[in-house]
Amino acid sequence: MKRRSVLVVDDDRDILEVLTMRLDSIGYETVAVTNPERGLTLLGERPFDVALVDLRMEPIDGIAFTRAAHERQSRLPVLIMTAHGTIENAVHAIKDGASDFITKPFVGDEVARKLSRALLERRWARDRTLLRTVGETLAHSSVVDRLFEAIVARTLEATETERAILFLASDGSPVATATAGVSQTPEAPLVAAAETAMRERRPIVTSRSDERVILAAPLLVEGAAGGALVAENPSYVVPTEDDLVLLAIFAAQAAVALKNAHEQSRLRSGALAALGRVATQVAHELNNPLGGLKLYAHLVAERFRKASDEQGVELARKIDQAVTHLAELVTDITAYGRPPEVDRQPVALNALVEECIGLAQDRIAQHGVRLILELDPAVGTQQIDAREMRKALLNLVVNAVEAMPDGGTLGIRTRRAADLVTLVIEDSGCGMDDETRARMFDLFFTTKPNGTGLGMAITRSVVDRHDGRLSIDSTPGRGTRVTIELPAS
């Protein structure tokens, strides 16, 4: 480990000499000066881990020195050295920003103890500031899984512990949701600590003499423990009351974030449901006039045909096409409102995939996209609703192609494992940022000028109704991989 550096300032040369020897012998890198002004200059030039300063000095006394030192290094722990008679002044110094005092003459290992204590406190003080900023960002973040990873990563970084785990309550028991750091020791004691902290609803420390120190703080959401944040330390770290307070502060921030995330998703699904109902009503209202329009377009086309007006026929055909497109859209929206039961029939899944590619062929060619197709024959025939699944796959293929306006690679794979059929659609396109990823399944969420934002909502609904799982992997600028897992029939 790097040697900690101590700045010692005392106008008594004898004391300086004694101190330097002692500090050197216990492993500190010592810089000793008799002139406080010189000491301040040094603080302006290089960082120190801690300073040891005499109270009575000329022309700057220890209190003034501490203040000036903090202007240069705001978190530097300063220990004030004082003779017995002047303890009151030392207390004064502490109020003014010094972290502790040592009485002269020094007894036993007091200097060593107070120095290492000051160093430890410095660590936590620094961390508290870090944690506060982290907590604030977390409270505003909306992407839950990343949030938890960020929480443990920052806990680890801030507390310099070996391992941090965030547990979330599932049916009352803690389930490890995010982990940072490594440790050879088993997870069981950490789970037990999380359980205790959640049950007692207060931060706890468990330390087994043989090895590890475990700190656990509950995530209190509206009075109930929604989980726990657990940090594991090697045994030589002796946690103080402060350490627990710190972990509790962080857990509280995490709890706020958790609550916000819950609330947001509740709000969002409420808003979506309302939006869905309105959309369904509007769609319904549109249905009849659209049917009429289609009929008129047909009649107009007939007339033009009789009059041998080819241009007129072509125009009528375009009207008919546009109306058909609108009608399909309306069907999609109404269907989303009350999705039909899946009509499972034996379907050759690979053939269905090829059919979708055929339907998107024009766009694939237009965008200059290279297609890599790996279809596992073992996939065979599956009990699925071909119409619904076609809609879902086609949207994924089209999304992938649209993500690659300047060309790229589209990979489509099927695979059959024991009781699972997996379908992967992967593109090397623009990828998605956090917000798009979080909202892509929202009804009417789109980033495209002509998009409707229905595609992914429908796709997920189709996969859900087939008892499948849909997962997205996406990196901005690198591409997106969509994986569908279906139970094999």
Ligand X SMILES: Nc1ncnc2c1ncn2[C@@H]1O[C@H](COP(=O)(O)OP(=O)(O)OP(=O)(O)O)[C@@H](O)[C@H]1O
Q: At what angle do helices 110-140 and 241-306 cross, to 10 degrees?
A: 20
Q: Which is nearer to Mg ion, 334 or 395 (CB)?
A: 395
Other CB atoms within 10 Å distance of the CB of residue 238? 12
Question: Closest approach of Cβ 465 to ligand X, in Å?
Answer: 17
Question: Rounded to whole angstroms, how far apart are CA atoms 89 and 83?
Answer: 10
Interaction partner, residue 447 (ligand X, Mg ion, none; CB < 5-8 Å by kind): ligand X
Other CB atoms within 10 Å distance of the CB of residue 410? 25
Q: Which is nearer to ligand X, 138 or 430 (CB)?
A: 430
Question: Closest approach of Cβ 318 to ligand X, in Å?
Answer: 20
Question: Rounded to whole angstroms, how far apart are CA atoms 201 and 33?
Answer: 50
Is the Cα torsion angle 95, 97, 98, 99 positive or negative in sign?
positive
Q: Which is nearer to ligand X, 278 or 307 (CB)?
A: 278
Question: Closest approach of Cβ 447 to ligand X, in Å?
Answer: 3
Interaction partner, residue 141 (ligand X, Mg ion, none; CB < 5-8 Å by kind): none
With CB under 5 A as the contact rule, the residue among 382, 399, 414, 474 that binds Mg ion is 399
Interaction partner, residue 10 (Mg ion, ligand X, none; CB < 5-8 Å by kind): none
455 near Mg ion, rule: CB under 5 A:
yes
CB 394 within 8 A of CB 403: no
- Give the contacts of 27 (CB within 8 A, at least 6 positions apart): 3, 4
Task: Output the 3-class SS for 20-74.
Answer: HHHHHHCCCEEEEECCHHHHHHHHHHCCCCEEEEECCCCCCCHHHHHHHHHHHCC
Q: Which is nearer to ligand X, 312 or 337 (CB)?
A: 337
Interaction partner, residue 287 (ligand X, Mg ion, none; CB < 5-8 Å by kind): none
Q: What's 86's DSSP letter?
A: G
179 near Mg ion, rule: CB under 5 A:
no
Closest-CB residue for ligand X? 455
End-to-end CA distance of the chain: 59
Query: How is 179-198 classified by DSSP, letter by letter?
Result: EEE--SS-SHHHHHHHHHHH
Question: Closest approach of Cβ 428 to Mg ion, in Å?
Answer: 17
Q: Which is nearer to Mg ion, 163 or 367 (CB)?
A: 367
Question: Closest approach of Cβ 175 to ligand X, in Å?
Answer: 30
Interface ranges with ligand X (CB under 6 A): 395, 399-400, 403, 427, 429-432, 436, 440, 445-448, 451-457, 480
Question: Closest approach of Cβ 73 to ligand X, in Å?
Answer: 47
For residue 254, the SS3 value is: helix
Q: Which is nearer to Mg ion, 276 or 455 (CB)?
A: 455
Q: Which is nearer to ligand X, 5 or 436 (CB)?
A: 436
408 near Mg ion, rule: CB under 5 A:
no
What is the Cα Rg of the chain in Å?
A: 34
| Residue numbers at the binding site for Mg ion (CB under 5 A) | 395, 399, 455
